Structure 1
Amino acid sequence: MQKTFEKKPFGSSKTDFRTAFVSMFMAILIHILILEFVPHSFSLMANETDADDDFDMEFEPPEIESVIPQFIEANPAANDDAPKDTPFESFKNQTAAQEKAEEADNSNLPKTDGGNDDSNKIVSGNLQNEVLSQSPESVFETLERPLVNPSQQSQTNPKDFSEQTPPAAQNENTPPEIFDDKDTLPASNIAEEITPQETPQNAPLQEEEPLPMPKPRPHLSLQTAAGPLRKNNLNANAVGLTAVDSRFSEFGAYEQRMTEAVARQWYLLASMQNLSSEAGTQVVVEFFLNTSGEITSIKILFNSSTTTGKTLCEQAILSTAPYGKWTPEMIAVLGSQDQSVKFTFYYR
């Protein structure tokens, strides 16, 4: 008897066929669910649809805070050598030095026995003595001082004066004495008093004397105000007049000029008052400057003095403003926003 075998799909039993069918059905169902519920951007249809869209991307500029230069008050009488590297800016170039030779620490500052860690003074000035011997107009003349490095100012060329011959000097009969800067009468009046008959007919010709050099126009010497010195225990690496590592900048010259004008006004106002009761007190004033050098706001941060002492400090600041427009270099460094300035006044 021949035994026949029933053919089955896939060469397996009915149980295997059902398992394969269920697996295939589940796989199809999973793919359908994926296409239905997965985010649109991940589907193939989304890629084909969005292929023609423009690709836009925006970059926001990074926020960069302007770093305010660190001002230091250089010594006007010390050297004017440019330092290699320094965090300080001032009204002139200068390299650190101190009067006593000690083991060098390569400090940007000289060793000073001051009592104030925040002070920017390395020497105490004598501006008060100069102010009391000058007119009140000297305060505002200070603000007219150009923002230049004192060591780079060009000296007056004598040739410039010799070429500026006064018109009256072209007359050969005009006595040279009338151009002497010691004369007080105008030249035209003296010439009228001297007649041609008074001049000898046969007088030998004399070589004209050179005209006297005009005296340079007087200008205010750069001085610093008295005040507490900075405290620094490290030593500079050079011996000489007390000096600090500083780099000239228009910002440094502007701040020094402003400080000097306020100090001059404060000394003048204080000289008109009896301030014996203010001794040992101090006033801290903060104000904001705009790019035109104008004060936009002012307030008292600290006051241990009397009302008179506080008012003198405010008036010394308000009466000397505006302090002049900022230069393009200053705006590039500081930005165009108002800048905070703090002054501490000490009554001693």
Structure 2
Amino acid sequence: MTSPSTDSSSYLFEQGSGDRRLASLIAVLVTLLLHVGGYYLVPTELLLRLELSDSADAQEVEVEFVEPAELPPELLRFVEANPEVPENEPDRKDQYSYRSTQAADERPSESELDAPNVDGETDSQKIIQGELQQAPVAPPAVVAPQVQPGEGPGTEGGKAGAAAEPVPQLVQPAPAPDFLKQEAVTEEGPGSTLEVTGEAQEVFEEPDPNAPINVTRQPKSAEVVAEADTADGAGGASDAKPVPRARPRLNPELITGPLMNSRGSAARRGSLSLDASFSEFGEYEQQFYAALQLGWYQEIEFFQPIDTATSVLVRFVMSADGSIADVQVLQSNASTIATEICTTAISKRSPFRPWTREMIEVFGKQRTLTIRFNYR
């Protein structure tokens, strides 16, 4: 009797547990249905109205876009831009040059940097090797001839001075007429002459005696310098305007030197170029480096040092008036004469041309520059 009672109680216990499990499952399903139904059945306007009522006390916030602050001159770095790429203003502003360019690479890769992939030697700012050439010599200016001093005080109302005599240019003599080259004809007939082989020249038997002789008339190619008067400040003639000539200017050219050692790649595809913003000081600095390298080569050609595989690091201060001072050798493994050549090449460039007002506003009254000279 004990075993049937035990089996009966165990059956009842398991049956009650199954009912509770079913009831819990039904409750969960009903709850999910209510939430889903409420989400889709409640109007959206009601939900937005409730959110607005909760945020009624929120404060208004104004957003204003301002220009980024300019970098101090100490963080600005000169780089040598590629003159063969089109000009384009970059986002990066810590590098300047004589023209605006954006970084580009011929074969962009996944390892992106702000510089193209250049298999160079050092941490240089050069990406393309250049050849230093002197700027073409400007033609001589045309100087107007001076006049004699005028009479009377002042520059107006006086009697004009005598104009200078025109200076004619030398011209070739006009060719003699053909009838002057003919044989003389007399009543007794032409005289005896040597036999001449070849075609005979055309001879006018009876030339016109009234025909004009073209022996004094100048050809059209002859030119005479026009008269030009200049003022002498004493009532003379008005100022003459000489022909202007091109202003001598050293073109920004690529200098020679070690290239950049960059293993990354730029994001854009194109010719090799760096991020650089145009700056008047960038153009000024590029012209100074071109003139400095030319002077350095002249010193090397004169002194003929025997140094190879050496370098000289020099620092100096350039002022707004173009003067150079405080030339110091920071590092050198070259000979004494080779080191002196570097400092002399810098000192002889002083004074360079003065700075512009924009350059002074950005860099102040002076700027410290550092240059490394490499003997190969």
Q: State the TM-score, normalizing by the size of structure 2.
A: 0.51
The Cα shift of 1:67 comes to 4.4
CA distance in 2, matches of 1:263, 1:94: 24
The Cα shift of 1:314 comes to 0.8
* CA deviation profile, 1:273-306 (whole Å, cap 9, x unmatched): 3333x10111011111111111131111111100
Q: Which amino acid is the alignment partner of residue 129 of structure 2?
A: S
1:116 aligns with 2:132: no
The Cα shift of 1:342 comes to 0.8
Identity percentage over the alignment?
29
Check 1:187–1:96 CA distance in 2 against 1; reply closer, same or farther (3 A cut).
farther
Q: Which amino acid is the alignment partner of residue 289 of structure 2?
A: T
CA distance in 2, matches of 1:227, 1:237: 26
| Alignment match of 2:280 (pick from 244, 250, 271) | 250
Check 1:197–1:121 CA distance in 2 against 1; reply closer, same or farther (3 A cut).
farther
* CA deviation profile, 1:76-133 (whole Å, cap 9, x unmatched): 3x213213312311011222223x323266643211122212x111112222xx36xx
- Aligned runs of 1:313-324 on 2, under 5 Å? 313-324=342-353
1:95 aligns with 2:102: yes
1:189 aligns with 2:195: no
What SS is found at the alignment partner of 2:303? coil
Check 1:109–1:83 CA distance in 2 against 1; reply closer, same or farther (3 A cut).
farther
Matching residue of 2:368 = 340
CA distance in 2, matches of 1:247, 1:344: 23
What SS is found at the alignment partner of 1:80? coil
Matching residue of 2:289 = 259
Matching residue of 2:331 = 302
Matching residue of 1:164 = none
CA distance in 2, matches of 1:194, 1:220: 46
CA distance in 1, matches of 2:372, 2:342: 9
* CA deviation profile, 1:245-266 (whole Å, cap 9, x unmatched): 2111101111111111111100
CA distance in 2, matches of 1:83, 1:107: 18
| Alignment match of 2:130 (pick from 106, 125, 134) | 125
What SS is found at the alignment partner of 2:284? helix
| Alignment match of 2:91 (pick from 85, 88, 97) | 85
| Alignment match of 2:76 (pick from 60, 63, 69) | 69
Q: Choose 1 or 2 for highest CA Rg.
A: 2
| Alignment match of 1:329 (pick from 358, 361, 371) | 358
CA distance in 2, matches of 1:222, 1:105: 32
CA distance in 2, matches of 1:258, 1:273: 22
Contact 2:320 2:354 in 1 (8 A): yes
The Cα shift of 1:231 comes to 2.0
Matching residue of 2:214 = 198
* CA deviation profile, 1:168-207 (whole Å, cap 9, x unmatched): xxxxxxxxxxxxxxxxxx99324584599539x9xxxxxx
Q: State the TM-score, normalizing by the size of structure 1.
A: 0.54
Contact 2:90 2:100 in 1 (8 A): no
Matching residue of 1:275 = 305
Contact 1:96 1:107 in 2 (8 A): no
CA distance in 1, matches of 2:174, 2:356: 55
For the aligned residue pairs, the C-alpha RMSD in angstroms reads 3.7
Contact 1:114 1:230 in 2 (8 A): yes
- Aligned runs of 1:125-164 on 2, under 5 Å? 125-127=130-132, 130=133
Matching residue of 2:318 = 289
Structure 1 gap segments, 5+ residues each: 1-63, 142-185, 202-214
Contact 1:68 1:333 in 2 (8 A): no
CA distance in 2, matches of 1:257, 1:340: 17
CA distance in 1, matches of 2:290, 2:86: 20
CA distance in 1, matches of 2:113, 2:171: 66
What SS is found at the alignment partner of 1:272? helix
Q: Which amino acid is the alignment partner of residue 116 of structure 2?
A: P
Larger proportion of helix: 1
Contact 1:110 1:232 in 2 (8 A): yes
CA distance in 2, matches of 1:296, 1:222: 24
CA distance in 2, matches of 1:96, 1:187: 59
Matching residue of 1:11 = none
Give aligned pairs, total: 219
Q: Which amino acid is the alignment partner of residue 261 of structure 1?
A: A
CA distance in 2, matches of 1:66, 1:282: 27
What SS is found at the alignment partner of 2:339? helix
What SS is found at the alignment partner of 1:110? coil
What SS is found at the alignment partner of 1:189? coil
